[in-house]
Amino acid sequence: MMKQDPQHLSSASLSTNPPPGILAGHHSSTPTSEVEDIRLLRRGIIVNISSMLGSIALPDGTAAYCASKGGVLNLTRQLALDYAPYLVNINALCPGFLETAMTAGNRRSSQSAQDITHSSELKEPSTSAEKTGERMRCATPFGEWGKVEDVARMAVSLASADAAWVTGAEIVSDGGLVL
């Protein structure tokens, strides 16, 4: 792995969400000690967290975020290939738009798919962030923001025996947005 200095990355998103390989490459040209420990055990599970934005692009200046999450996906595929002989399952979980502290400024708690179904009028978002959040919600076929608990259950599934034959996969949990 090529050694890189994370301090030279100019994007705030890449320094907040660096592809793990950048940091691993910065510290050593060999895999991290955790992966080495798993390799010695000859069985293991790693679930990387990426994003649906690792596979698609959105407007409004998301290039660095998309690049960092795309890096996680490619690293997942490469490590899955490298560690398959040691029976290590390595997959990536790619959440969509979720109700989190990071998205709180974009969400409107009063607007949900049920509100739209039971209401004849759509309330107009008042701020630019709310308008962005409303576009995100409307773009999701389920018509609402996802919950962290839904993605957590998928991560548990990927770490269970049910996913024993799954490796190098990109599992998208986004309410149908990336089809």
Residues acting as catalytic residues = 65
Burial (0-12, 13-18, 19+ Cβ within 10 Å), 85: exposed
* 29: number of Cβ within 10 Å: 9
For the chain, give the longest Cα–Cα distance: 61
76, 171 Cβ separation under 8 angstroms: no
Instruction: Find the helix or strand (DSSP H, E) in which 80 lies.
Output: helix 63-83
Residue 99, Cα to own-chain centre: how many angstroms? 14
17, 66 Cβ separation under 8 angstroms: no
